[in-house]
Amino acid sequence: GFSTSSVRPPAFPDRRVTTSLCAMPVRKVALLTAGGLAPCLSSAVGGLIEKYTAVDPEIEIIGYLNGYHGLLLGNSVPVTPEVRENAALLHKFGGSPIGNSRVKLTNVDDCVKRGLVQPGQDPLKVAADQLTKDGVDVLHTIGGDDTNTTAADLAAFLHENGYELTVVGLPKTIDNDVVPIKQSLGAWTAAEQGSIFAQNIIAEHTSNPRMLIIHEVMGRNCGWLTAATAVKYREWLDTQQWNPGIGLDRRGWDIHGVYVPEMGFDIAAEAERLRAVMDEVGCVNIFLSEGAGVAEIVAEMQARGEEVGRDAFGHVKLDTINPGQWFGKQFAAMLNAEKTMVWKSGYFARSAAANDEDLALIKQCTDLAVDAALRGESGVTGQDEDAGDELRVIEFPRIRGGKPFDIDQPWFEELLSGIGQAKGSKEHVEH
């Protein structure tokens, strides 16, 4: 369930939309990273610099600082010979060396409010003028669906106004929910790091009788990361030795419930099952997607007249509604928990350096991205699920977010079976 595919696909119809009629000489390349962090950004920047240096060290490279924020303000840094020489060091770190932000170029009001453009200005034109001024031939955007669809908007605007720019994106999101990409960069590492986080915080079940521990994992609309993190954690459990006579019992360290946005469940029935676990084991440990139950929580808040915060893309600001706390309150009462702890692994997991599996995928994607840029082909590099998982340049119009996690996958069904949880339907969550 977690490995890349090398299956060669059947012939795939060419529906490519590019911003270049033919390959033009590439003299200057710009990089930007945007959206939330993921364990691939630093490595992807390093990989692109390494590939361009190997192909043609005369190609100039700049990095726009803090994504589209820096592009609008004209803030960039040059990739100097010294930076090129030490580009491999970027593979060892998390975060982004050139910084991130969440900016939507078509959200004019937000751009004006943040001082990125003046009233009356079109952010797309401001960005286009800056790229023109900087003489950029190729723009590489490293981000999720919002980042890359914004890049597509920008490329289309430039094309309509007579300036041909090749835009090649790389798919970044720990949610692994970009359509039609099989595996987004950084997601494997985030699952592994979430497991490491859980290995410590679940020890807290020994700090008090009748403990309820909720591990809230990032995943706005998609439960893949929660499920993958739970699998990685249980793989770690399988490597441990136990001493139940003195209380070192796997049952207390195990996961007792996994809840994702795509899987409905009857909270009363689950509480009855978990109450039996609490009575027998003395604790309950839950892995919860941060997006699970959001619709219900938002409805409750709005019914109370509370304002629901949203970002520039219209997404609910999950840190302001605290799904883990909401679920903790619901379950604690029904389980007669004496103490409840809610832990969020998101920032810990998303800020890590890429692991070996992600490093290999990042290199494949960055190498292809440079090859595509040099031939004037725009799109997003990734494993195309509609083409037998072939690694190819995917057309921008086909990129979108919100890909649901398939709860019918055998590895997820095996996970639920292993913890004694019935798989819920694909209906809405019942409360």
pLDDT digits (tens, 9 = 90+) for 128-150: 999 999 999 999 999 988 888 88
Show the beta-strand stretches assigned E in 311-371. Answer: 339-344
Q: What are phi and psi of 216, to 5 degrees?
A: -90, 120
- Segments of the chain scoring below 70 in pLDDT: 1-23, 293, 296, 298-301, 304, 308, 311-321, 427-431
Cβ count within 10 A of residue 119: 7
Q: DSSP alpha helices (H): ranges in 27-96?
A: 41-55, 68-73, 81-85
* DSSP class of 261: T
Q: In whole angstroms, what is the distance from residue 13 CA to residue 63 CA?
A: 34
Q: Look at the block and give the residue holding tokens 């990095």.
A: 63
Q: Look at the block and give the residue holding tokens 């190729």.
A: 138
Cβ count within 10 A of residue 348: 15
Can you tell me whether residue 314 is helix, strand or coil? coil
Can you tell me whether residue 79 is helix, strand or coil? coil
Do 223 and 71 touch, CB atoms closer than 8 A?
no
Q: In whole angstroms, what is the distance from residue 351 CA to residue 364 CA?
A: 21
Provide the pLDDT for residue 6.
35
Provide the pLDDT for residue 424.
81
Q: In whole angstroms, what is the distance from residue 185 CA to residue 183 CA?
A: 7
Provide the pLDDT for residue 155.
81
Q: Find, among 326, 317, 315, the residue nearest to 288 by Cα.
A: 326
CA distances from 75 to 35, 37, 134, 142 (A): 17, 20, 11, 17
CA distances from 164 to 62, 128, 185, 397 (A): 18, 10, 28, 18
Do 261 and 221 touch, CB atoms closer than 8 A?
yes
For residue 210, give both structure tokens.
């009748």
Provide the pLDDT for residue 321.
65
Q: In whole angstroms, what is the distance from residue 422 CA to residue 431 CA?
A: 17
For 43-66, how does the pLDDT look when each residue is reduced to its tens digit (9 = 90+)?
999 999 999 999 999 999 999 999
Q: In whole angstroms, what is the distance from residue 169 CA to residue 200 CA?
A: 36
- Provide, for the chain, the percentages of residues in helix, strand and coil under a 3-state DSSP scheme, each rounded to the nearest 5: 45, 15, 40
Cβ count within 10 A of residue 113: 11
Establish whether the linkage from the previous residue to 180 is cis, with ω within 30° of 0.
yes
Angle, helix 123-134 to helix 145-160, in steps of 10 degrees = 70
Which residues are identified as catalytic?
175
Helix (H) or strand (E) holding 60: strand 60-64
